[in-house]
Amino acid sequence: MSIFRNFLVLVLFTPGLLIPGPLGAVQLDQVVAIVNDEAVTRLEYETRHRREQLETRDTTFPVPEQINPAVLELLVDDKLKIQTAKRVGLGVSAQEVENTLAVMAEQGSYTLDGLLAALNEQGISPSQLRKSIEEQILISRVTEALVNSRVEISDEEIDYHLQAHKDLYSTNEAYEISHLFVSTEGKTEDEVRSTREMLDQLLQKLRSGGSFEQAVAEYSDGEEKETGGYIGWQKENQLPDLFLEALRETTIGGISSSVETPRGFHLFKLHSKGGDVRIVTQQRVRHILIEPNRRNLTGGEAVELLNTLITQIKDGEDFAQLARLNSDDQTSAVEGGSLGWVNPGDMAAALEETARSLPVNQVSRPFRSKFGYHIIEILERRDRDISRDLARRKAEQEVFRRKANELYQNWFGRMKENAYIEYHVNQ
């Protein structure tokens, strides 16, 4: 509903933008167009024209008597989408409209009556506002149902987009590292397999606090053996992609996973990161949600149910199984309540606040969010550079916008081509 937030800001906080008084000197029930079997009136046109003026901060009032073909075309397009929405069974309840009005009032620091009175003074009646809200919700829903929900994006498409737009990945990464290299050149398959197993054991030992420098002295075939494996700072363009992938997954002070190349095996100790990196603390979270409205419970009864589940968990029952059986978050319930690794800001404010102070492997007390009542558990925390993840997310959004626009143009173009449209004005 961003259109209404913008609308509200413009109306209430731009002095003189709307001028009270009649919409114009013409007959407002004049039919200016026919869309299929529905008439479009002059009043609807002038209301739509005013919205365009608000969005472009055009203070030329009243609405010119001469019909603007571009604005009329926008109105006709809206009519077609609304008709399609109703034809496929989409609707908007009166309560949804009132909820949107309540949000608008809250954002403008108004009571609902105060908001309606302020807009009415500006020449926007409550009925016009409610109708506009209902129509915009319908347009949003039909676009989501028939266009956006049908967009499919593969990992390969995101990879291709990133390759074509390397600026998305321009993070100027740099890593301060030490390197342990074990050569497999000239070794048999059995010897390579034995080396791989040895390195797996060594990796566990190093991640448990073993000395990387000592391991380099004992096992490494690399040129940097004499310096304890220390290489120093390496820029992104100095490291192969396989090494970069391993280092991006490694926390500062940690040991990378083993990287296998045709020449042998590589382990890295990451001392520091540089460049345009963004380090955040991620949390692996799971939760159980109880929605009182869904179950016809009071808030107190929802808390009581969650306390019963906490007792069961303390008595040894499996959190994941209890989430599958009890959580009203159907998406995460099938995953045992898992929300996966979450970045700061990914969760609702109440979940963020509770998770921030919760020790690892401890179940929270019941608490309330806008979704209902929860208990959560933090399974792990880690520091991670998410700059690459953000670049990938941005690439996905760009691919989505392109594909959604193509699908929309095809969908709406066919719909308009098959519609009956008759204009009753001189264009």
Is CATH 1.10.4030.10 the right assignment for the domain spanning 2-146? yes
| Of 69 and 5, the one with more pLDDT | 69
Tell me the pLDDT band of 11, cut-offs 50, 70 and 90.
Answer: very low
pLDDT in tens, 167-188: 676 567 788 999 999 999 889 9
Is CATH 3.10.50.40 the right assignment for the domain spanning 279-383? yes
Distance of CA 124 to the CA centre of its chain: 34
CATH topology for the 172-274 domain: Chitinase A; domain 3 (3.10.50)
Dump the DSSP string for 147-192: TGGG----HHHHHHHHHH-GGGG----EEEEEEEEEE-TT--HHHH
The mean-pLDDT minimum among 31-40, 279-288, 335-344, 378-387 falls in 378-387
Average confidence score pLDDT of the chain: 85
Q: How would you classify the pairing of strands 31-35 and 264-274?
A: unpaired
pLDDT in tens, 268-310: 999 988 776 677 889 999 999 998 878 888 889 999 999 999 9
Indicate the domain borders of the chain.
2-146, 152-169+386-427, 172-274, 279-383
pLDDT for the residue numbered 58: 58
Average pLDDT of 29-55?
84
Q: How far is CA 168 from CA 276, 388, 390, in A?
A: 12, 9, 9
Do domains 172-274 and 279-383 share one topology? The answer is: yes
> What is the spatial distance between Cα 71 and Cα 69, in angstroms, rounded to a whole number?
6
Residues 13, 16, 17: CA angle, nearest 5 degrees = 75
pLDDT in tens, 90-123: 988 888 888 888 878 877 778 888 888 887 776 6
pLDDT in tens, 327-376: 999 889 999 999 999 988 788 888 988 998 899 999 999 999 888 899 99
Tell me the pLDDT band of 24, cut-offs 50, 70 and 90.
Answer: very low
| Of 51 and 373, the one with more pLDDT | 373
